[in-house]
Structure 1
Amino acid sequence: MTSQPLHLPRLSRRDWIRQSISVGAALGFPALACGAELGLRLATFRADVTPPEGHPLCGGWITPVKSVADRLEAIGLVLLGAGQPIVICAVDWTGILNRAHVEWRAALAQAAGTTPERVAVQCVHQHDAPFVCLDTESLLAAQQAGLTCVRPDYFQDCLARLQQAVRAALPAARPLTHIATGAAKVERIASNRRVDLGPDGRVRKMRGSACRDPDLIALPEGLIDPLLKTVAFYSGAEKIAACHYYATHPMSHYGQGEVSSDFPGLARKLRQQQEPGCTHLYFTGCAGNIAAGKYNDGSPEARVALTTRLHEAIVASEEALAPQAIEHVSWATHEIVPEVNPAFTKERELAQLKNPKNAPANRIRPAMRVTWIERLAARVPIVLSALHVNQTTLLHLPAESFVEYQLRAQRLAPARFVATAAYGDG
């Protein structure tokens, strides 16, 4: 069931995400069907979404594509038999924003025979990957200054490949009978980026995705969610899909034009090679203030080490899996229309966009803010969603949420196993 848009008072992004989780995690869990007679089926799909040479990376903020270290994928599930089909998709991109996110969900919905409100699309948030906003691209093109964040024809090609993959997957859907959950502590990856605080509580220096500052490295990990969570789906005794969730920025090093799914994608691909009969998906949790900086110097060797440790956690989380018969399934959504941060005005951002003296990134970012301001003025909502299966919740949040929201979501539903994916729309 989809609620009416929630028109909030003027709130910061942190405030409205916090309020969203308070509402979303407290939703009831009515069963659409229950018992052994559910007749559920699960289809899995994947499509290559690797950008071509010369395509912008991270929205045009960094060096464009020069080479491909490993390919990017969009991987998803289609759940059949619980009302209209439900689609969940993880994408090896930095982000998919505004109209691009709406179009992606609509394309998957059309292919699966459902509505966009029953589709969740979450990015993993690697940076040597596309960061897509079609409205921003239109603004940039109007400047006639060679600025770009995405090639629209490439974006449409990706949607066409995805639709083809979904349509091909549906006839091969397997009976879905059981679900299992597991968790494992991840060693030496996540650390909080905002640990160097001054007397006024403000961040003095941020510990980023990679760090070589010995003083920052020596600081504690800070607040993190140390657990990698896994939700697995079974057809009888056979595990046919596994969704893995962990909160950290997914970059070891980036910015040289070499496309990569980075250490989360590499760990996922390794697990996929080990279990070819099970489709593995990876979701980045609420990692806005979380990265690997304490344990990552940005070297190629560090990428290998991070991949190894994350893969070990994936395997460990699956060791605890104990399949339980599926008895209850439901899908819930909640629409949010936040207010614009008063620190940003359309006029000021347009001036930054149009200033030829600004570096490209310092023109593209304001263009993205303009499209956000225009979206909110048009009251186009962000759709949060959650899949509830027995005592498990797969929660889909927007934007670059901080880890506090993920931790609070679990506290709001202590009797449930809550697996949170961020980096949706917004």
Structure 2
Amino acid sequence: MQTDFSRSGVTPDRDSVCGDSNAAHSRREFLKQTILTTAAGWSLTLPHALHAADTGAGALHIAPFRFDVTPPIGHSCCGGWIKPIEVVDDALEAVGVVLLGVGKPIVLCAVDWTGLLNEAHVEWRTALAQAAGTTADRVAVHCVHQHNAPFACLEAERIVSAEGDLPHIVDIDFFKRCLEQARRAVEQAIPKARAVSHIGWGQGKIEGVASNRRVHRDETGKVLAMRGSACTDPKLIALPDGLIDPFLKTLAFFDGEKKVASLHYYATHPMSYYADGRCTSDFAGLARKQRQQDEPDCLHVYFTGCAGNVSAGKYNDGSKAVRPVLTKRLYDGIVASEAKLERAAIKSLAWKTAEILPPPRSSLHAEMIAQQIATKTNAVVNRNRPSYMLSWLRRVEKKTPIVLSSLHLGGVKLLHLPAESFIEYQLRAQSLAKDDFVCTAAYGDGGPWYIPVKEEYPNEGYEVSVAFCEPDIDDVMTEGMKRILPR
């Protein structure tokens, strides 16, 4: 007999916290009231601040799922400005779990794509929600951010398609097939859900992978050169790691002594080399797959943390020989994180969300961007990339919010953030819940592109140049984190 997982043991709290943008309050008071406004008119609201209140979790079940999302030959990579897919070295996958039995189902999913932005991200969350019998605000979808992979934004695809002479952003038929596969995978997984008796958590320190990209600066702090995903400049390589989070964290779900699923979190850009037309999950995906081979009965899921300003550049010269080295170091970190898992029964579970809609950069003007896209003498990168900017502007006009979310499992908290968030947000999250074990996934809704902390905007550099939001996004995202992380 199939277990009925649709019953909820709690009544969702749907209180909203709102404010009047014309009210004469100080900025500190705005923060306290969880409403941040500027002349551009943006806000943070918490429509489901305690969507599933803390409750006993004895009925919790987990349904692991996975499905193929490898693009067809000829598909664009990374927005169409690098070589398209010519050969598949290894498959791209979407991997995740459905949590059932306590409130409406919760879905966590990682995708081996460069990004899912705006409407595309909403469609993925909606498809998974429909299949799981839940709502889209209880679905977290994150991309691992490999670059020989799709960078899906449906509005950007419409924009470049209208030009008639540009590479596609994403094949719409392929995108729809992926959604169908997502629904089918989840629907097939749920009847096979396993009971969760307890969870385990641990971390392993990784050396020789993550390094900060923004370490070469002048005396004022301005970035002089970026140490990217690969680096061959001896002076940049000699600089220290800079600000990183060296720990790979793991949350595991157990049915008795059997480990059913392990979720892994680590913050670095996951590319060794790319732009060669060879589809691959790269070193992060290869490390996950190696661990999956070790434990075929336990699903392994890998989430990229806040790696907007973190890559393997100090340790990667972009040669083919380095990819297996990085793969092994990451794999060893996964194994180390699971070697001594702390274990405990789940006595409480909560799912908390906050919605944000930060304003676009004041320097982004739709008419100028549209003209740049239409100018046929511009390079492809200078036409396709602006289509993402224009898509963000149109999204803000429609007032489609970004959803921040956090899953609380006793003293373990999973945090789900958007886009290419800087590592400071991940470290800040841990400080906001200093007594808890916090695992942070970024690269959720990729609409804003890079999300620096506000102090970094004056320091310029590549990441700031492609940040689509004003520096105030720092305040609103931090306020959202404060609201969904504490108990």
Instruction: Answer yes or no: same fold by TM over 0.5.
Output: yes
Name 2:56's counterpart in structure 1: 34
Q: Offset at 1:365?
A: 1.0
Separation in 2, partners of 1:4, 1:170: 34
Name 1:353's counterpart in structure 2: 373
Structure 2 counterparts to residues 218-367 of structure 1, below 5 A: 218-367=238-387
User: Does 2:37 match 1:9?
Assistant: yes
- SS at 1:393 equivalent: strand
Q: Offset at 1:4?
A: 6.1
Separation in 1, partners of 2:53, 2:35: 28
Which one-letter code corresponds to 1:218 in the other structure?
A: A
Name 1:170's counterpart in structure 2: 190
Separation in 2, partners of 1:146, 1:344: 22
Separation in 2, partners of 1:323, 1:72: 32
Separation in 1, partners of 2:225, 2:69: 35
Q: Is the 8 A contact 2:53 2:351 kept in 1?
A: no
Q: Is the 8 A contact 1:47 1:74 kept in 2?
A: yes
Runs of 5+ in structure 2 lacking a partner? 1-12, 19-33, 448-487
Q: Is the 8 A contact 1:7 1:337 kept in 2?
A: no
Q: Offset at 1:343?
A: 1.7
Separation in 2, partners of 1:166, 1:63: 33
Change (3 A) 1:7 1:255: farther
Q: Which runs of 4+ in 1 moved over 2 A?
A: 1-12, 27-33
Q: Offset at 1:385?
A: 0.7
Q: Is the 8 A contact 1:44 1:78 kept in 2?
A: yes
Which one-letter code corresponds to 1:9 in the other structure?
A: T
Over the matched positions of the two proteins, sequence identity in percent amounts to 55
Name 2:122's counterpart in structure 1: 102
Separation in 2, partners of 1:368, 1:76: 27
**Which TM-score applies when normalising by structure 1?**
0.94
Which one-letter code corresponds to 2:418 in the other structure?
A: P
Change (3 A) 1:182 1:29: farther
Q: Offset at 1:28?
A: 7.3
Separation in 2, partners of 1:99, 1:146: 21
Q: Offset at 1:59?
A: 1.2
Q: Offset at 1:122?
A: 0.4
- SS at 1:323 equivalent: strand
Separation in 1, partners of 2:267, 2:175: 27
Name 1:397's counterpart in structure 2: 417
1:54-97 per-residue CA deviation (whole Å, 9 max, x = no partner) reads: 00001112100000111000001000011010000000000000
Which one-letter code corresponds to 1:291 in the other structure?
A: S
| Higher RCO (CA-CA < 8 Å; seq separation 6+) | 1
1:385-411 per-residue CA deviation (whole Å, 9 max, x = no partner) reads: 111101011100001000000000000
Runs of 5+ in structure 1 lacking a partner? none
Separation in 2, partners of 1:151, 1:358: 23
Q: Is the 8 A contact 2:152 2:170 kept in 1?
A: yes
Separation in 2, partners of 1:78, 1:32: 18
Q: Is the 8 A contact 1:10 1:338 kept in 2?
A: no
Separation in 1, partners of 2:84, 2:347: 48
Which one-letter code corresponds to 1:246 in the other structure?
A: Y
Name 1:185's counterpart in structure 2: 205
Q: Is the 8 A contact 2:50 2:351 kept in 1?
A: no
- SS at 1:300 equivalent: coil
Separation in 2, partners of 1:220, 1:32: 43
Q: Offset at 1:374?
A: 0.8
Which one-letter code corresponds to 1:161 in the other structure?
A: Q
Separation in 1, partners of 2:17, 2:268: 32
User: Does 2:223 match 1:203?
Assistant: yes
